[in-house]
Structure 1
Amino acid sequence: MSKGSHMKTAAALALTLLLGACATAPKPLYHWGSYQPALYAHFKGDDAKAQELLDKLQVQLAETQQSNLLPPPGLHGHMALLNARLGRSEESRRHLERERQLFPESAQYIDMLLRNAQKSSSAS
């Protein structure tokens, strides 16, 4: 290779590195935080009491809102489940409706859950 081609290659490499250094990472769509480990622990059966887990998810939701990101799919649904276990049906319903609002593809499932919750509360 000639000296000129080495310089062109070096210049191209330097330009590539410079442009790469200027690029910023894309902003994530969702703020997962500690939600995935909490969900894993819940389904593995070694999670804390429902209120303790709910407290962790509420912190996660607050961090998500502060970062101007969306909560991950299922976060509000999980919070609804925990609130239902704690006997907080109105809070549970509110989280289910928020899940449906954020993720319209879940509307059919959420509507079924809301109907079932309504039936069980009217049967009591």
Structure 2
Amino acid sequence: MVKVSLLVSLVSVLLLSGCGNNHLYYWGQYENIVRQSYVAPDEVDTATQISELEIDLRKAKDSGKKVAPGFYAHLGMMYAKQGNTVKSEAMLLQEKALFPESSVLIDGMLERAKKNQGIQ
């Protein structure tokens, strides 16, 4: 009886250890970029952020994972800072499509962007 109990415990530990750290989203450098933009905003320029986020986007797609909430919105804001309204709007709409709970925020961002740039 003790051997069976020990065997069951051992098998359980082995099975459960295989379930560790399966992250739902691909984060890449996103967290570091957001943190850096708050801590030292002058140290991370817009072009670098776009480049790193685009690399992370490719890595996420290659790994079959979704990017984290806010990823596309941040990328959209960086494109807007560069004046690329087409890509900015595409990224913001992608964020809204993937995370519908962000609709109010994204709609507000799109509306303000259109007012600021005179887009109809």
Compute the TM-score of the two structures, normalised by the length of structure 2: 0.87
Identical amino acids, percent of aligned pairs: 24
Compute the TM-score of the two structures, normalised by the length of structure 1: 0.84
Choose from 8, 31, 55 the match for 1:36: 31
Choose from 9, 19, 23 the match for 1:25: 19
Cα RMSD over matched residues? 1.7
1:65 partner amino acid: K
1:64 partner amino acid: A
Tell me, yes or no, if structure 1 residue 14 matches structure 2 residue 7: yes
Partner of 1:73: 69
**How far 1:10 moved relative to its partner?**
4.0
Q: Mapping of 1:1-124 within 5 angstroms?
A: 8-23=1-16, 24-25=18-19, 27-46=22-41, 47-122=43-118
Q: Give the secondary structure class of the aligned counterpart of 1:40.
A: helix
1:29 partner amino acid: L
Aligned partners of 1:9 and 1:77: how far apart in 2? Answer: 56
Regions of 4+ moved over 3 Å:
none
Structure with larger Rg: 1
Moved more, 16-25 or 77-86: 16-25
The number of equivalent residue pairs is 116
Partner of 1:3: none
2:29 partner amino acid: S
In structure 1, stretches of 5+ residues that fail to align are 1-7
